[in-house]
Structure 1
Amino acid sequence: MSLPTPTRDTRAVITGASSGIGYALTEGLARYGYSLILVARREDRLRALAERLSAECGVEIEIRAVDLAQRDERAKLCDELAGRDIAVLCNNAGFATYGELATANPARERQQVELNSVAVHDLTLAVLPGMVERGAGAILITGSTAGNQPGPHNATYAASKAFANTLAESLHGELAETGVQCTLLAPGPVRTEYAEVAEAPNLDRVVPGPLWVSADRAAAEAIAGMAAGRRRVVPGAFAKVQTLGGQYTPRGLVGPILRTVYRKVK
């Protein structure tokens, strides 16, 4: 299976497009020939990216400055996308928090669930019926290796990414023979603004430099995986080890190990 052929009327939607993996996905899909709808909170970054890529790649780029963690803003975007010809949806926006859940900011934790899980679900539901009706489309959901195992001191993130991981792989099987595909991108540590947003200044010290992958590499492997119709894309050797460990290591063993590691992040 390959990605739908770009046309003047179709669009690829990328959430979290202003930085990190989303930024790299935007560049990759623009060079693939897709006209785009870019979604993020920071309009200035979106506008600069859109102007550059539109000039370099000759594609049409629309921007939507939307906070996807806010239900009212998200609903308006979903209503719009439901009526558009969306060829590709990259559900990429997300963030993490670290620390004890008992002392966490409840509003911030709820925002994390809204963005990492509920927004992914809502946007998928908005575009999926049209894709199935047309018999063509591709959905990428950015999950995480963190969603493969418990994450003490990273509980909300691990739980929200478990939802994303399972949704993506379930849809991959459900959509067989429809002409539509769903691919999970499940990275480990990726060089982005992730640590800054997560307020995790010690993350670099906990995870050694050679174990990180670049956002460009993660995005390139994700696009190649979508084009090949793959169920799951796990960029980097360390992420592959994390995936196997999460699947086969007893929870009673991996939980205490990760609790010790995540305590050192903040």
Structure 2
Amino acid sequence: MQRLLAGLVGAVVLTVAAAPAAPAAAAPADPVKALKSRVIAGQGVKVTDVTSYVDLEGRTVFLRRTGVLQYGKPVKGGTGTVAAADLRSTYIPHEGPVFNDLDDDLGDERAITVGRYSYIKGAMRYGARQKGKSWIRLKRTLPGGFNGWYSQYVNAAEPATLQVLIKHGERSGRTYKGTIGEAALWKASPWYRAAAIVRPKDRVLQYELTLGTNGLPQRLITSHLAKEHWSESLVNDDVITVETRYRGWGGKVRVTVPPKNQVQTG
């Protein structure tokens, strides 16, 4: 099973669209230190995610996400040094037994998180809205929204997460490849603990992290077996893979909560 997972992930890495190859460059001596130097309140980074279902027949994209992460002072029950986020996701439906259930669970969604509260707009599974209320304020932090269960919740823009990825990865130039149990991420990462809808089993993630010439995360690809989401009889050893790209490091970011008169409490 692990050999098949590695083979499928390798195929994904080869087929994902990538920028033209740049000259080889050494990674900085301490990428985590480089990232911590950018953890400045009111600044942040732009992110884009693409989630795909991968089987022996190819790769099917079913979720895309874009947004910004803002650094700030950590608060109890929040998401660590990434103190705020505004993420918009677009669901792409497909026919077939594997995807049929997703129509009930996923849809276009926007998730705003500030401090220890998350605000969700467009969530399919959270019930009816009150008249005139387009947002729901959750009683917990859920920075990726409900779609986040299928999006990227390994956040390489968080120093604690980057530390774990660097530690467990094998380096080649500016790229680190490796596998990691989710229990290690759960322990290290405030973002991961907040973004996971339920506490995951200790499944294994395979990842490939590429740093930019500035030593900061540029691209992260994570992959895991699809049976964590679907019946094993449907998906066998098929894989879900998420590619995340980071850009605009150090830009000014200001995430604000939705207008109070448009919010109902979940």
Q: TM-score, normalised by structure 2?
A: 0.27
Q: Of the two structures, which has the highest relative contact order with CA contacts closer than 8 Å and spacing of 6 or more?
A: 2
Q: TM-score, normalised by structure 1?
A: 0.27
Q: Which one has a larger percent helix, Structure 1 or Structure 2?
A: 1
